Chain A
Amino acid sequence: MKRFAKILCALLAAILPLGAFAACGGAASDVLYVLSFKPEYDEIFEEVNQIFLDEHPEMSSVDYRTVDTNNYNSVFTSRIQSGYLDVFTSEVTYMMQGSNNYMEPLEHRDYMDDVKDEYLTLGSFYDPSEGGEAELLTMPIERVANVVYYNKDIFEEYGLSEPTTWEEFCSVCQTFSDATKYPVAGKSRIESPIIFGARSEWPAMAILNSVVADVIGINQPDFFDEIVNYDTNTNIRFNNANWVEVFEKTQQIGTDYVDSDIYGLDYSFAATYFSIGNTTNNSWYPMMIDGTWVNSQITAEFEVGAFALPAVSDPTNAEGKKNLSVKTGATLSVFNRSNKKDAAQDYIEIFFRDEIYQKFVDFAKTPSVKETVEQTDTLVNSIFDENKYTFVEAYDSRMPRYFPLVSASEVVALMKGQITAQTVADTLQNQVELNKVDWQEYTQLSHTKS
């Protein structure tokens, strides 16, 4: 015991000089602070950091940090409060929830001429309180789609093709759920026409978003544009027939075409099990729904196809195409209280240089936002096919700020059949009524001039 005490004392003596660390000022002017929630892209960003440092000899280092999404909000809050921030990743959803308050409008740089207009529009916001033109606040780097991935081998085996209407989709699912009702000797297989990472909850939003894109997108196409006129337009209600239909169809997919055991599946396993395919004696899964971030994670040996979930009998929209629910993934922004705004804008520019961005696009398997950079992956290109689909931003990115949203946990409960579609619709509507005063104060932010 005595020796233990001596060791402790020696350690204590060794610790004390650490107080020397205490002399630390505010954000250093020769360090660029970058915060991201995409650890997947670390390698690309490290390359950007290196180029940035080579070209900016006055900067001593780049403080690049990634945090997983669960903890991103805490760290982001801390950074904006303290000012140790220059460049950060965001999402359109986040901006809708207020992080645009921290964004410096991006200056015009040459690379922007190559960026496709639709992405510039996505990153631009009007602030009616200020009036004037829309400002480019953030630069999208990727786009993801809420599609149904399917195993072409299994589809072929059953003589099925991509469904184009809700009824066809149901019958495809029914075929698979009938086909899986045989037991394998000594082993019960978990078979499910559709799998998704249900235990992680958020993938359920991909299903809801797909259904919304069709049911609301076809039956009430002006719904999201009209939300700002909520008070006067009585068609804008979340418990109207269209929304109840959305929730009912989501529920039908969940209860009828997803095996109940799938509700314990972690999202990172969904792609893994889908990729295993028909080869093992475990299980097979003909379809997987996910929010396409998973493109780079599908390592299947079989041929993978993807289609937009058709949620109505005639999913052809006014343009003669189909609606595909998409989401802008990560975007890059400059912090508006940064003391190195120019350097921060340079940093973003470096990321968008053709050679770097090409690497990124190949790695992340996302459609390119630049005209000069091509995505070569056939699966990705078949999903982001402009001739076939109209891209509809996901429901939760289109809502005004602080507007009550359906939560992922509600969608999962709905899909399990624990709550009825009507309950979900009524609760949502009720919340909208209750929080009306709150959100109306904050709805200035929008893509379109009202």
Chain B
Amino acid sequence: MKEGAVKVKKLRKEPVWVTILCTAALILMALVMVFPLLLVLNVSLKTQTEFNQNPSGIFDWKPIGELFSNYSYAFERMNIFGRLLYTVAMTVGSALISCVVVTLVAYPLARNHFKGSGKVFGFILISMFLPGSLVANIFLVQNLGLYNNPVVLIIFWGFGGLTVYIFMTMQFISELPKDLDEAAFIDGCGYFRYIFQFVIRLSLPILSTVFILKLVGAWNDFLTPYIYLIEDRFMTISTGLFAFRGQFSSNWPGLAAATFSVALPVIILYVFLQRYIIEGMAAGALKG
């Protein structure tokens, strides 16, 4: 994974002004990224009255319990703990399925294992732009008999919107050495066994990226469960955001706290996995 990062002594140190300029750019950009999020954090720590009186001011300091009252309300209202297991199962499950499907299609295409694989790839690319519509999708789900069945989430999240990931994974796989393939096949290793045993393992860097991006997409998607599922037990955490979006009013502090509460698990997961994701992509996800 670290093959690209061969350590060599630098021949020439970069000039001081370059270092200064780069550091300045780094910090400036970091501020641009962080400031808006701090603003939301600030709002989420205010009471509704505080917000109404001065929407942009800094929150008043309160005892911890009161300070996070919006959060405790949001956690309770959205039933975050009750829905956590189900939501994790659905999002992780569909992200894993995505990884498997993507590898299965990317490997033969990257290796040109059958005639016309280029055309198939072109077809996959084009399919990204095919026009669909909500009415058509509802019609389809009903006729498949999957309405109010959580499997529908797996289908939309796990099997939908794979094109870009197929593209990326193909790039990655085409960089893997072919010798191993041939040796394995000569030894009589089955095609699927080879994919599951070796290709998936070798492509873990890119697959971890696919995994986290699909997971995050599913986690943040609050409309799909609402449209295709009915029962309360089938709702994922982010659907709880609806309770904070009034028809003609908005409880901004509540919404801010709710938004952060929904994002929190993903942020935590991201902090833990970020080495895999970014290093994974960087280690050769898109070898050029």
List A residues at the B interface (Cβ < 8 Å).
Answer: 1, 4-5, 8, 11-12, 14-15, 18-19, 21-22, 24, 27, 33, 37-40, 42, 63, 65-71, 74-75, 77-79, 81-82, 84, 267-269, 271-272, 275-276, 280, 291, 293-294, 296-297, 299
A67 / chain B contacts, CB cutoff of 8 Å: 226, 242
* Interface, chain B (partner A; CB < 8 A): 1, 49, 51-55, 89-90, 92-93, 96, 134-135, 138-139, 142, 147-151, 201, 204-205, 208, 211, 223, 226-228, 230-232, 234, 242-250, 252, 276
Note all chain B residues with C-beta closer than 8 A to A11.
92-93, 96
B134 touches A15 (CB 8 A): no
A84 pairs with B148, CB closer than 8 A = yes
Task: Provide the residues of chain B in CB contact with A81, threshold 8 Å.
Answer: 138-139, 142
Which of A68, A74, A297 is within 8 Å of B242, CB to CB? A68
Task: From B96, B231, B243, give the contact of A15 (CB < 8 A).
Answer: B96
- The one of B93, B201, B242 that contacts A12, using a Cβ cutoff of 8 Å: B93
Q: Are A82 and B248 interface neighbours, CB within 8 A?
A: no
CB contacts (< 8 Å) of B232 on chain A: these are 63
B242 and A39: CB pair below 8 A? yes
Q: How many angstroms between the C-alpha atoms of A69 and B245 in the bound complex?
A: 9
Whether A66 lies near B242 (C-beta < 8 A) is: yes
On whether the beta carbons of B230 and A33 are closer than 8 Å, the reply is yes
- Check A24–B243 contact: CB distance below 8 A: no
Question: Judging by beta carbons under 8 Å apart, are B230 and A63 in contact?
Answer: yes
Chain A residues with CB under 8 Å of B245's CB are 39, 68, 70
**Given A69-B247, A74-B223, 19 further pairs, Cβ under 8 A:** A1-B276, A4-B208, A15-B93, A21-B151, A21-B234, A27-B230, A40-B246, A40-B247, A40-B249, A67-B226, A67-B242, A68-B242, A75-B227, A78-B228, A268-B250, A293-B248, A293-B249, A297-B249, A299-B49
Select from chain A the residue with minimum beta-carbon distance to B137.
A78
Interface centre among B92, B93, B246 (most CB of A within 10 A): B246
Complexed CA–CA distance, A27 and B169 (Å): 42
Whole-angstrom distance between the Cβ of A234 and the nearest chain B Cβ: 38
- Residues in A with CB closer than 8 Å to B90 are 18
Q: How far, in angstroms, from A364 to B18 measured CA to CA in the complex?
A: 61
Is A275's CB under 8 angstroms from B147's CB?
no
Do A269 and B148 touch across chains, with their CB atoms under 8 A apart? no
B231 / chain A contacts, CB cutoff of 8 Å: 63
Closest 3 CB pairs of A and B: A15-B93, A293-B248, A68-B245
Q: How far is the CA of A276 from the CA of B226 in the complex (A)?
A: 37
The smallest C-beta distance from B252 to any residue of chain A, in angstroms, reads 7
Q: Which of A4, A38, A42, A69 contacts B204 (CB 8 A)?
A: A4
In whole angstroms, what is the CA distance A21 to B250 when docked? 35
Tell me if A24 and B89 are in contact (CB < 8 A). Answer: no
Closest Cβ neighbor of A23 among chain B residues:
B149
Cβ contact within 8 Å between A37 and B247: yes
A291 to B248, CA, bound (A): 9
Q: Can you list 8 contacts pairing A with B, beta carbon distance less than 8 Å? A: A21-B151, A24-B149, A39-B244, A39-B246, A68-B245, A69-B247, A81-B142, A271-B249
A18 touches B89 (CB 8 A): yes
B247 touches A38 (CB 8 A): yes
Q: Across the interface, which residues of A come within 8 angstroms of B93, CB to CB?
A: 11-12, 15, 18
Q: Which residues of A contact B249 (CB under 8 A)?
A: 40, 268, 271, 293-294, 296-297
List, in ascending order, chain B residues with CB within 8 A of A33's CB: 230
Contact A267 B89 (CB under 8 A): no
Does B226 contact A68, Cβ atoms closer than 8 Å?
no
* Residues on A with beta carbons closer than 8 Å to the beta carbon of B223: 71, 74
Measured in the bound complex, the distance between the Cα atoms of B134 and A70 in whole Å is 14
A144, closest chain B residue (CB): B248
Whether A269 and B55, one on each chain, are in contact in the complex, defined by CB atoms closer than 8 angstroms, is: yes
Asked if B151 and A5 make an inter-chain contact with CB atoms under 8 angstroms apart, the answer reads: no
Residues of the A chain whose Cβ atoms lie less than 8 Å from the Cβ of B227: 74-75, 78
Let me know if B276 and A74 touch, CB within 8 A. no
Q: How far is it, in angstroms, between the C-alpha of A14 and the C-alpha of B54 when the chains are bound?
A: 48
A370 to B205, CA, bound (A): 65
